Amino acid sequence: MSAVKMTEGRVSLDCGGEPLFYRQAEPADRAARLSVLLLHGIRFSSENWLKIGTLETLAKASCRAVAIDLPGLGNSKGAVAPAAVGELAPGDFLKQVLEALKLSPAVVISPSLSGMYSLPLLFQHGSLVRAYIPVAPICTEKFTAEQYRSVQTPALIVYGDQDTQLGEVSLNNLKNLANHKVVVMKGAGHPCYLDNPEEWHRAVLDFMETL
């Protein structure tokens, strides 16, 4: 198997407050083909992507993968969130993260709570997003079908079929994206990637092969 280099660090943003914590995985012996930014839900952190092997899996697939802890959560508890939970954050917030980490254009993986960060980035700074992988994100109802249709970024919409609330609500909005595929994970709940990491990794890697 190819070697993977794992590191941790902190990234400072212009908005002040404590820097954000991140974990990074990249191929140890060759250049990365794609950059990936992994976000997380409200009860989770970058540690989940480490534990289920997503960071390592992406690095072995020639990706540079960075999982950040969002403000106020995980190891970024001292960082100040730019918006209240459920409100849209400024698109410039993740733009700064991508630029500080030299990650753009990046594939953005965005479950649940992180929709409040990733959707403004997608709509305001689409050129920084190589592809978008939303996993039942919040805030999808804050944009119109017409706005979604204007986005040409390739998207992979993933949700668990047991997630009857956010999974279905987000799908109904996100399916208006002009260039999307849908993966429904059978028997999986809201954090569907935790219920079946193997199926999750297969879906993500298959999609990335098309980029």
Calpha distance 23→14 (Å, rounded): 20
59-95 burial code (b ≥16 CB/10 A, e <16) = bbbebbbbbbbbbebbbbeebebbeeeeebbebbbbb
Sheet containing strand 63-68, strands side by side: 4-11, 20-27, 63-68, 34-38, 106-111, 129-135, 155-160, 180-185
Q: Where are the beta strands (DSSP E) in 39-144?
A: 63-68, 106-111, 129-135
Question: Could you tell me which residues come within 8 angstroms of residue 129 by beta carbon, excluding any fewer than 6 positions away?
Answer: 104, 105, 106, 107, 108, 121, 122, 153
Partnered with residue 21 across adjacent β-strands are: 10
Tokens of 19: 């820097």
Residues serving a catalytic function are 112, 163, 190
